[in-house]
Amino acid sequence: MEPQIRYVTSADGTRIAVSVLGEGRPLVHVQHIWFASMDSYWESPPVRNSFERLSQRRTLVRFDHRGIGLSDRNVSDLSLEARVSDLAAVVDFVGGDGVDVFASVTGGPVALAYTASNRQKVRRLILASAPARGVDVRRTARLRILWPLVQVDWEMFVRVQTLADVGWDEIGLRVGRSRLDSMTAEDFLSATRASTDYDVTALLPSITCPVLVMNQRGHPVVSLDITRALAASLPNARFVQYEQDQILMPGSDEMVRLMEQFLDEDRGATRIESGFPSGTAIILFADIADSTALTERLGDDAFRAKSRDLDSALRTIIREHAGTTIEGKTLGDGVLAVFQSARQAITCAATCHAAATDAGLALHVGIHAGDVIRESDPDGRGNVYGGAVNIAARVASASAAGETLVSQTVRDLARTSAGVSFEDRGEQALKGIDDPVRLFAVR
């Protein structure tokens, strides 16, 4: 399936080449301002496969930045305002009742600036190794060594840099040829100098749409600290890391999977109303252990950053285990989720504990099964109520840090299927629950 190329006109008359692939809600990719055009990305099979996968249930919209590829070349205005105007023309072209935007590396400030001034048009925003400031995009040791070649031997610079990025094989050679045609050395230097000055940090508090901040593990250009700080500065952001061999975006199954889960979350929320067996659910409650003492020791900002990162990780883990996080609950440092299988909930709990340990934190986790009342809050988010929900929270409170306790109901459901053993803790009186509840620790 080959993308269709169209043209839109920016506010200053610059013609921007746009690629459209697939059908459905638009996902607009604001790619890294580099010497890579849409064509050069398409030459890499891993990246091409990722684009095709993203376009299976949505319209993937890509475009060449001004001065690059099929868009107008030899453009003098490379300011952030001009690039935001280009993105605005692309979004207006694809239309719809709200687009999703995905930005890579130096495309980040452009996407953030556009979202801040067009909040009604952007539904969800994904930032992949993308900072709020151009100066935070660092040069690798290899790039610093190769940099003098930009003006001395542009062809050698492009080919060697591409082979090192993509691979020393025929694919790397093919991508290099395409990159070489995408931009001149003079335009590359002008774009690099201009993007270094981009800074949208002052706009971050005004961006209220859901944001997924992603960082490729060991990314050589944008550090983990930069992206974590960005996530902490956005009112409605979560942070995840992913594995990927190449720097090209997107290029890994894990990255695409995380993106699709985030983009489809509003679809998943409807499961609260219709996806579960009537009245019955497996309820998992997880709470950060000793949060008050941690706040005193780390300080409010540091603890908030840690808990936000862990919250994002737990929500991803819950989705991966076929659970649904209940967005309508205000739980402080806790997460509430429902499952259709006791085995899935127990396996999910183990993975949640591992994520907390990696973050230097510990969880209290409790699991109970029972009838729930499913309703929507006034803001439309799915919610669950009932005595079974309260019991799950109390079971979690009774657990030690790093431990999962389950009620006898859950133990009986999962005794032969979960692949774990259960230590009988006997009947315990739980706060606010009339009858004692027999609890089991998962081993």
Share of the chain above pLDDT 90, in %: 52
For residue 357, the tally of other CB atoms under 10 A from its CB is 12
- Contact present, 30 and 110 (Cβ < 8 Å): yes
Condensed to tens digits (0 to 9), the pLDDT of residues 327-374 reads 654 445 678 999 888 888 999 999 999 999 988 899 999 999 988 876
- The pLDDT of residue 151: 94
- The pLDDT of residue 217: 80
Residues contacting 129, CB < 8 A, separation 6+? 104, 105, 214, 215, 216, 219, 221, 222, 227, 249
- The pLDDT of residue 166: 84
Condensed to tens digits (0 to 9), the pLDDT of residues 186-215 reads 999 999 999 999 999 999 999 989 999 998
Domains and CATH numbers, the chain: 4-263 (3.40.50.1820), 272-442 (3.30.70.1230)
- The pLDDT of residue 271: 40
Spans of the chain, pLDDT less than 50: 268-278, 329-331, 378-380
Q: How far apart are CA 88 and CA 79, in angstroms?
A: 14
- In terms of C-beta distances under 8 Å and separation of at least 24 residues, what long-range contacts does 1-9 make, across chains too? 1/52, 1/55, 3/38, 3/42, 3/60, 3/62, 5/70, 6/93, 8/63, 8/89, 8/90, 8/92, 8/93, 9/89
Q: How far apart are CA 259 and CA 279, in angstroms?
A: 31
Condensed to tens digits (0 to 9), the pLDDT of residues 362-384 reads 999 999 998 887 665 544 455 77
Condensed to tens digits (0 to 9), the pLDDT of residues 412-435 reads 988 776 678 999 999 999 988 888
